[in-house]
Amino acid sequence: MSDLPGTEAEATGPATTEPVSLLLRHLHARPEGLTSVSAARRLRRYGRNELHRHRRARWVGELASQLVHPLALLLWAAALLSFLSRTPTLAWAIIGVILLNAFVAFVQERQAERAVEALRRYLPPRATVLRDGRRQAVDAAEVVPGDVLAIEEGDRICADARLVEGALEVDLSTLTGEAQPALREAGAEGRGRPLLELPDLLFSGTSCTGGEALAIVFATGMHTELGRIAALSQRVRREESPLERQVRRVAWLIAGVSVGAALAFIPIGLLGAGLSWRSALEFSVGLLVANVPEGLLPTITLALAVGVRLLGRRGALVKRLSAVETLGSTTVICTDKTGTLTENRMQAARIWTGGREFDVSGDGPLPSASAALAPFARAIARCSNAELVEGGPPRGDPTEVGLLRLAARLGEPVDRAVRERGRRRLFHFDPAIKLMSTADAIDGTLWLHTKGAPEAILRRTTQIAGEDGLRPLEGEERAAIERKVVDWASRGLRVLAVADRPLTGAELPDRAQAESALVFLGLVALLDPPRPEVPEAVARCRGAGIRVIMVTGDHGLTAGAIARAIGLVDGPPHVVTGEEVERLGEPELRRLLREARDLVFARSSPEVKLRIADALRADREVVAMTGDGVNDAPALKRAQVGVAMGRSGTDVAREAATLVLTDDDFATIAVAVEEGRRVYDNVRKFIVYIFAHTTPEVVPFLLFALSGGHLPLPLTVLLILAIDLGTETLPALALGREPAEPGLMRRPPRPVGESVIRGSMLLRAWLLLGSTSAALVLFAFFFVLLRAGWRGGVAVAPETYRQATTITFLAIVACQVGTAFAARTERAPLFAIGLATNPVLLAGIAFELAFAAALVYVPFLADLFGASPPPGEALLLLAPFPFVVWGVDELFRFGVRSRAARLLALPPT
């Protein structure tokens, strides 16, 4: 008989209501899961467990949007004026530019989007399934109908499924919008309820916030409830980043100024210069085209996409293009300790039990030196969800893995199957009370095993286990335990307490009742050494004016010791516990964050993280917040940059975050901040480069108008189009790949709300670089005219005029080369970054020169653009132009650096 069920459409109807036994028969599945061979056959039949998006309507809309942005509208106006002036060739040329520019921008945005989607594959969602009689982690896209999912707290559910064992708390907000988790339990009766309220159903796209369970998959991909919704609504719009919004506003400003100038100079041309209507309109077209920086928006999109791709290679997965620029303005990083600042390699170092302390460092077996060690080892083995895999890496929380290894060395069985057979109840770790407990049947007796923060265990403990049996846990002995916790924590060790108690009665008590009157079994100290690269990364962040605040659930002394070890604090750390934060009002918390230095938040709950993020944002800080657990999701969403752990983090945390660290390393955050700053700087560099060429393109038209037409027009509209589209674009794109400028991470963060285009940038582009270029360009133009014998007011021979406008075009290209090198740095000298450190720019300049030469010397192109080869001495005249433009800017930057040095050297007043 085939092991393939019918179609998923057929299975979905009865699958939600029929008994589980019938569902298993219908799916040709078993409670112990599929075989790998069967799963492979089903994958071929049903396809991958993915949602498919129809993009036809979307790409049409995206392409159309490129035709109506303000810079395109400006060119449409120029084309209309060209038709009115009866120059249809020019009009069609401008329309061709509009269409080509729109297509280039559209392609670049699509490539940028695909780059983000491709990078997401660095961290494919994983699912744990029962295959071949054992648990296996597989790509969620390979889950098929009939698979048995093993779901734990923090997992994202990847398919529609029925619970067959266990109970879960599930966040259904993806489908229902309700933030309150819903209880889902195997065997629960729910006939007559709406589909989403059935108590034993799980849905793709939702998240498990608590519990453990097994569930049989009955629908995948587009056949899930989420797939049905996706099929009904395929409207997914790309979010415009703040940077793009700023540039769009500037584009409207440019459009307004350009149109105003063009309209104003029409009467000047008609009345002052005595031009005809046709000539006046041609003049206005040239003025409009000269003011349009066509490549601005696509260049910004590409720069952001390149930044995302580079970050992905360095271990930081950015989920939105807009997050790159936000990273560059980060002012505060709130970071967890375990796994981010430390190696997350927990190894037991010390045990205190029965009044005795044992050194358990190392890897060898340990003798049973105390009668109290047996119940201690049993408790840490049972109260765990981790798994030691023979011949493979362990699975589960690193702390629990470290405790399981300790239990195995103490001679306690740690097999997961044995543990699960005896487990009757799981009270998962609650960050609010800092405890985890399990109820386990052992030799006919039900035992509660508990581990957690020492202070939380001690509050619930009435007895202590010793070599002579149980005795009351009273004052001096309780104080001795507390002193031991302080001693270990001050050495940077993570300290946990372990307890148990027998449970009586037929029914299991609720959590609060179960976790009371505990028997204290002992303490265990685990060592998690700081990552070796973290001190340097912390120093770089602090040098960049970024505050780094540790927010951890660990003991304050442990957190303080690690903070000192990595250079997070200069003096004694100011440790604030979660309980202290909860007692503070919002004004007091904001004052604490504003005024206190060397802050470390210990014993912090996710609610405390959320309050810290809110308080910092209220003070206009740009916050990056790390997290890895389910309950960290609100804080990750609230921070401007939520940073989730790729290895140890839960699916819920990764979904809530904007940045995922594939290596869980704090140093990668510093890299991401630097990359964000670099990208933002590069955006400003190519804005300076693009705007600098507006002046030499506009000044010839103004000179022509102000002379009343007595001076020939030095540049034609077609040659302007050749400059803006042919010679300017590739160097501008290459500036987006500039390496970081020296001192980038020694500057303070960018002020919140600062525009990407500053007044100083426009002055540098238009007045310094632009005016220098305009002077050189006009000098070359008049050199050719005067050499040919032209005198003011005399008509120019057609061939001489073509040579003169061609030399103007070539002079602008030569000045572009100098501007490209000048724009590579904002303050630093060019030799500080090196002449050849951006090979893409060198290639872009080579293409620019080749294109300019082809336009002049290839007959077809020369006829199309109205170009003619200028005299040889005029071409030699152009050779120093790039050095003059670069040299003038280099002197200007030297003056800026000197002035800044003098200001820093001034004594305080």
Q: Would you say 140 and 333 are in contact if contact means Cβ atoms under 8 Å apart?
A: no
Tokens of 54: 């129809």
Q: What is the DSSP letter of 359?
A: E
- Examine the residue annotation and report whether 430 is marked as an active-site residue of this protein: no
- Burial (Cβ within 10 Å: 0-12, 13-18, ≥19) of residue 746: exposed
> In angstroms, rounded to a whole number, what is the distance separating the alpha carbons of residues 387 and 401?
7
Q: Kindly list the distances between the CA atom of residue 865 and the CA atoms of 54, 75, 283, 803, in Å, as whole numbers in the listed order.
A: 42, 18, 17, 12
Displacement of CA 672 from its chain's centroid (Å): 8
Per DSSP, helices labelled H in 27-69 are 36-46, 56-65
Q: Which of 139, 196, 141, 142 is nearest to 171 (CA)?
A: 196
Helix (H) or strand (E) holding 475: helix 475-490
Helix (H) or strand (E) holding 194: none
> In angstroms, rounded to a whole number, what is the distance separating the alpha carbons of residues 907 and 909?
6
* Number of neighbouring beta carbons within 10 Å of residue 680: 23
- Burial (Cβ within 10 Å: 0-12, 13-18, ≥19) of residue 609: buried
Region of 855 (left: φ > 0; alpha: ψ -120 to 50; beta: rest) is alpha
Q: Would you say 166 and 212 are in contact if contact means Cβ atoms under 8 Å apart?
A: yes
Q: Which of 629, 649, 627, 624 is nearest to 639 (CA)?
A: 624
Q: Kindly list the distances between the CA atom of residue 87 and the CA atoms of 83, 94, 278, 282, 341, in Å, as whole numbers in the listed order.
A: 6, 11, 9, 8, 67
* Number of neighbouring beta carbons within 10 Å of residue 587: 10
Tokens of 610: 């959320």
* Residue in this structure with the two tokens 């019938």, named with its chain if needed: 22
* Number of neighbouring beta carbons within 10 Å of residue 439: 20
- Which residues on neighbouring strands pair with residue 551, listed in sequence order? 601
Helix (H) or strand (E) holding 88: helix 88-119
Q: What is the 3-state secondary structure (H, E, C) of 393-448?
A: CCECCHHHHHHHHHHHHCCCCCCHHHHHHHEEEEEEEECCCCEEEEEEEECCEEEE
Q: Which of 626, 640, 892 is nearest to 749 (CA)?
A: 640
> In angstroms, rounded to a whole number, what is the distance separating the alpha carbons of residues 151 and 125?
13
> In angstroms, rounded to a whole number, what is the distance separating the alpha carbons of residues 714 and 652?
62
Catalytically annotated residue among 336, 554, 664, 665: 336
Q: Which residues are catalytic?
A: 336
